[in-house]
Amino acid sequence: MKKLSYLTSFLIAAVLLSSCGGIDKMKEEYGTLTFTTTPKVLEMHGGEVEYSIQGDIPPEWFNKKAIVEFTPVLTYEGGEKELESKTFQGIDVEANNKVIEYETGGSVEFNGSFTYEEDMRVSQLVIRGEARVADGDESLPLPEEQIAKGVKATPKLVMTDGKAVMMADKFERVTSHQEKADIHYVIERDNVRNSELEQDDIKKLEDFVKSVEEAQNKSYNGIKIHGYASPDGPMDLNERLSKGRKNSANSYFDKVVDKKKLGEDEAKKIYEGKTTTEDWEGFKKLVQQSNIEDKDLILRVLSMYSDPEVREKEIKNMATTFKVLAEDILPKLRRSEFMVEVEKVGFSDAEIQQYILSNPDTLGLEELLYAGYELARDPNQQLRAFELAAEKEPNCARAFNNIGYVKLMQGDIDAAGDAFEKANDLVEGQPHILNNLGVVELNKGNVEEAEQYFLDATQAGDAVDYNLGIVNIINGKYEEAINYLQNSESFNTALAMLLGGEQANAETMLNQIDDKSAHNYYLQAVIAARNNNAEEVFSNLRTAIDMNPELKETAMTDMEFVEYMQNETFTSIVQ
């Protein structure tokens, strides 16, 4: 029994040694495996990093009884990100994993994505493996192997300089104003009755004329007096009446206007006298507006006959109807009409600017908005003008929108948002305001909310297209970004082109921008790195960092420059 026990123990130990020896061999020869990634350096797009790992396992490496689990892991300062692992087995293992042949070897693949974090810029993608015998309890870690270094985060260069828009004033320095009135006459008469001169429209006309003559900035632009006769009665009588009514109205108005101020030559230019012998158009209009029983029949007569005498005869044949016309319609046509048009010249730019400081109550809403929109030289002056406009008219959405615009330019995002919200409360859904609310959300990093505002504000002009271009760069939709930015000569346009595979167009765009920023030169350095042009990399990077030293830290960890990070010239620029 004791001999049998020794023999049994020996055999078990031999089997275990044989098994472990096979796994040990896998560990010893682990260096014969090769792993590659596509792309060679991982890239972030739309906040995600996609990876594709291909592993080649050589013949006679994978033990027939072994099970191996491979796990890609991204390691970086402050943490690590384990990616999806996969398990493989030898040909003698009874399990459901992919089999790797011992004689021929095989391949392993890993595909997936993970959410990007800023610390991942400087990182390593490694493969960790663990092997064990199928029926054993112990496992053997395989050597960790680096297969990629770092993550390119070029889309993070996007400038989130969303464009807000002001709402324009409606200021007109020279404006026209009109006042109308009329005088009615008794049938077959052309004299002006005193009772007519007491009517409200005549009194209002007289006050209007007086205000013109008292003002220094108003002048007559046109005075029209039109005498009418109703379309009943003989033509020669009506002709005399229409002229007489025009003349009597003119005589009255001569007493209202100050001829000394007007001047004889000016009066000749602006006065216009007209007559209408038989006012059939006025007759037709009043009939259409009336409730006369035979209205349709009367209108049919007017459409059938153009001869005035025939028209009058046919209408008078409708005895009852004509009586109503004579009482309700025809008296309104026996009249003279006045139309006085005045030109008013507003304050000069210098006067508006002076009143903003000394006497803002003198200015109207549109003048205040104009001062902020067109005349102000700095944001503080703009803000004062728009705040005065909001005080004068608390329900003016344009004033609050423009206050928000200035606050945004001053960097006060919260105050800008409050002003835009106030404007939106006053005029909900106005495209300019919605665009500006989107810019606020973009500044706060709320890209999804910003995009919805921009999509609802497409009628606000080119600024919305630019803003949507930014959003689409952030979301990794470069073709859409290029489409939105195609009319903008900007850094973001060049960035979208580069990320969208249009490198030549990106270079052209950067070269044609006159006012180049530090980011322009930085992006040119990135393009040069992709072209393997070391001299251009160093030259553009040096210029960019001279203009903005903060870009040193960005370049130091930018995997676009991974091939240059050990270069002395590169390190001298970024350190």
Largest distance between two CA atoms of the chain: 154
Summarize pLDDT for 82-109 with one digit per residue, the tens. Answer: 999 999 999 999 999 999 999 999 999 9
Work out the pLDDT band at 137, boundaries 50, 70, 90.
Answer: confident
Torsion of CA 98, 99, 105, 108, to 10 degrees: 10
Is the pLDDT at 13 greater than 70? The verdict is: no
DSSP letters along 66-78, please?
EEEEEEEEEEETT
d(C-alpha 332, C-alpha 330), whole Å: 5
CATH of region 22-152 = 2.60.40
**Phi-psi region for residue 159, left (φ > 0), alpha (ψ -120 to 50) or beta?**
beta
Going from N- to C-terminal start, the domains of the chain cover 22-152, 174-345
Q: Which CATH class is domain 174-345?
A: alpha beta
Neighbour-count burial of 84, counting CB atoms closer than 10 A to its CB (0-12 exposed, 13-18 middle, 19+ buried): exposed
Summarize pLDDT for 102-122 with one digit per residue, the tens. Answer: 999 999 999 999 999 999 999
Cβ of 394: how many Cβ atoms within 10 Å? 11
The per-residue pLDDT for 260 is 64
- Give the pLDDT mean for 530-542: 97
The per-residue pLDDT for 146 is 94
- Which residue from 280, 191, 277, 268 is spatially nearest to 227, judged by alpha carbons? 277
Work out the pLDDT band at 6, boundaries 50, 70, 90.
Answer: very low
Summarize pLDDT for 487-506 with one digit per residue, the tens. Answer: 999 999 999 999 999 999 99
Of the chain, the percentage scoring pLDDT greater than 70 comes to: 96
> pTM score, two decimals?
0.78
- For the chain, the residue count is 575
On whether the CB atoms of residues 544 and 521 are closer than 8 A, the answer is yes
Work out the pLDDT band at 261, boundaries 50, 70, 90.
Answer: low
- Map tokens 């969208």 to a residue: 500
d(C-alpha 163, C-alpha 468), whole Å: 10
